[in-house]
A and B are shown apart, each in its own frame.
Chain A
Amino acid sequence: MELSKEKLLWMYKKMVQIRQFELKTDELYKKNMIWGTYHLYVGEEATAVGACAALEPTDYITSTHRGHGHTIAKGADLKRMMAELLGKETGYCKGRGGSMHIADISTGHLGANGIVAGGIPIATGAALASKLREDGKVTLCFFGDGAANTGTFNESLNMAGIWKLPVVYFCENNQYAMSAPVNKFTAVKNIADRAASYNMPGVIVDGNDVLEVYKAVKEAVDRARKGEGPTLIEAKTYRWFGHSKSDPRVYRTREEEEEWKKKDPIKRFAEKLLSEGVATEEELKKIDEEVVKEIEEAYQFAVESPEPKVEDLAKYVYAEEGE
């Protein structure tokens, strides 16, 4: 592997952080501590981590309603994320946004989105700005298979295609948009096939293989940074749990879920790290334990944090001059 051990272990740790963060989120919801809805990312950890590993800290991402994984992979603070889920003033959105709206401008994260495909034109615009300002930044746009069927997907990818924008459109095809199976709701077999319409490369990757994701995104990011234009990447993966907090999953079988769970991206990566002698079991175990501690600390921070004040309800509606 050409990546340094440090980077590989960073990738492993990020994936474990995402998994543990999501399991904690689910636990807190079941304890009635999370008020709104949330969309768990379990099973898709390799896509966010592989993609963000190929970005510079100053590059931008746009995220989706299923955004915790992207946010963690881009480098956000677990404490402030957890505080946001609990609606606290110390959260990324000061308790105003919740799970679906976490943004972290300090790590180039332009925001999760409650609107499916909401981030696609926004990513296009951020990339246009980079082109106009020649700032050398690349924008990576996360979106789902469902989002690929919106009108703005077509409009945005065409614009990026004609203007050769420094953007990577990264589709996380987790096989379903809520209850809608991708093969019944998308006229082409692969979403990446659509790239031909926009005169950009279309690449399909195994979304449960973090290194394969990394390689494909790295190539696309390098192209974009050199001014060679956008790429559409489709990562095939699977969400293990329901679409959102209450979903009995009547639209798919438990057998299908079990098949995908066998392809657990974290387990696969751990096995690879061990078999190739990159890390020892003790090293991985130590990381796992560190993460458990970090999640616990994030939780404590969130619980102990104050709520926003009702008097401040109208704060942040408008930007104040000089802010």
Chain B
Amino acid sequence: MAEKLYIEALAEAIKEEFERDPNVFMMGEDIGIYGGAFGVTKGMYPKYKDKLIETPISEASIVGAGVGAALVGMRPIVEIMFSDFMMDAMEWIVNQAAKLRYMTGGQLKVPLVIRSPMGSGTGAAAQHSQSLPAMFAHIPGLKVVMPATPYDVKGLFKAAVRDDNPVIFFEHKLLYWTKGEVPEGDYIVPIGKADVKREGKDITIIAGSITVIRSLEAAEKLKGEGIDVEVIDIRSLSPLDTETIVNSVIKTGKVLIVEDDNKSYGWGAEVLSRIVESDAFDYLDYPIQRLGGKDVPIPYNPKLEGAAVPQVEDIIETVKAIFGKE
């Protein structure tokens, strides 16, 4: 299998979906000759110029128009340049896309993908650095995914385009330039399935998006401390794969949840409650621990910015503390 960058795997998925289904097209700002702010569509123009609809700076109407095109049978992909700007389009995400199916008694459907980069680590400060997937996972009617690897981004993207529901697709900016094995051609990673990224017997780390990569790195280092870490990549926040999580917790009896979003009301709290409400509760031999972003807007200064979200060192320290090692 060929090694590819996350951004390449995603671009491959987009192009393959363009080719597969004439109803698939993409809308967004600067996605043509410029190639998108992060370069996801770089080189697609002019070959796919009929598929790349460049818009003015009008997030509300970009998403709203995506909903409209989806209602009448297209399969739009909307790129929102930074997921922070989705706040401008919340009406059409939350009150329209998420609810039209239900409100119309199943008559309408909205096969729309909204894909967007998220996260800190680039010095872009508070309005260009948030990780907000939990906010969307709270809304019934939306599906929310956040692939962590090149393999998953390609497969999940295809699943998102083919899904008959609105899917919010989060790409952490720091993942774009990470590498991994990606098969040629068509394959699907199903929405709603978590993935055991590393098997271990002593503790379960539950992570998503960038924190998967950080947890895997921490797990390697913790091996030297004699701690065998299992890392679960949640992949999809909504729907959430409780089964994979519960099975792992029954095996290890210890849990650390690591999220990049700020901690209060974060998705880790939901995961925690699913564990506590399940059979796994009886197997816990240590209080469930959570690491999340600090409850602050993302600061500009690089030291402060780094301290605002969980890093590899924080994960290592927290796990060591659970095992009584300082």
Chain A residue, CB-CB nearest to B127: A114
Are B304 and A251 interface neighbours, CB within 8 A? no
Q: A114 CA to B5 CA in the complex, in Å?
A: 29
Given A96-B300, A96-B304, A37–B124 Cβ distance below 8 Å? yes
Chain B residue, CB-CB nearest to A34: B123
Min Cβ gap A227→B in Å is 32
Are B125 and A114 interface neighbours, CB within 8 A? yes
Given A314-B295, A314-B296, A36–B30 Cβ distance below 8 Å? no
Partner of B302, one of A35, A113, A146, A151: A35
Q: A115 CA to B124 CA in the complex, in Å?
A: 12
Given A95-B304, A310-B307, A36–B60 Cβ distance below 8 Å? no
Q: A98 CA to B298 CA in the complex, in Å?
A: 11
Instruction: Enumerate chain A residues within 8 angstroms of B34, measured Cβ to Cβ.
Output: 178-179, 250-251
Contact residue range for chain B? Answer: 35 or more
Q: A307 CA to B304 CA in the complex, in Å?
A: 9
B contacts with A: majority SS? loop
Interface residues of B in 54-102 (CB under 8 A from A): 54-61, 84-85, 88
Are B29 and A180 interface neighbours, CB within 8 A? yes
Q: A307 CA to B127 CA in the complex, in Å?
A: 21
Interface residues of B in 262-311 (CB under 8 A from A): 294-297, 299-304, 307-308
A contacts with B: majority SS? loop
Q: A250 CA to B33 CA in the complex, in Å?
A: 7
Chain A residue, CB-CB nearest to B123: A36
Instruction: Enumerate chain A residues within 8 angstroms of B84, measured Cβ to Cβ.
Output: 114-115
A87 proximal to B (CB < 8 A): yes
Min Cβ gap B180→A in Å is 25
Instruction: Enumerate chain A residues within 8 angstroms of B58, measured Cβ to Cβ.
Output: 149-151
Q: A88 CA to B54 CA in the complex, in Å?
A: 38
A163 proximal to B (CB < 8 A): no
Given A115-B127, A179-B33, A186–B300 Cβ distance below 8 Å? no
Are B123 and A146 interface neighbours, CB within 8 A? no
B128 proximal to A (CB < 8 A): yes
B interface residues, Cβ below 8 angstroms from A: 29-30, 32-34, 37, 54-61, 84-85, 88, 122-128, 294-297, 299-304, 307-308
A interface residues, Cβ below 8 angstroms from B: 35-37, 87-88, 93, 95-98, 100-101, 113-118, 146-147, 149-151, 177-180, 185-186, 250-251, 307-308, 310, 313-314, 317
Closest 10 CB pairs of A and B: A36-B123, A114-B127, A98-B300, A179-B34, A149-B56, A87-B301, A35-B123, A95-B301, A185-B56, A96-B299
* Additional A-B contact list (6), CB under 8 Å, known A114-B124, A179-B34, A314-B294: A36-B122, A37-B128, A101-B125, A151-B88, A180-B30, A313-B296
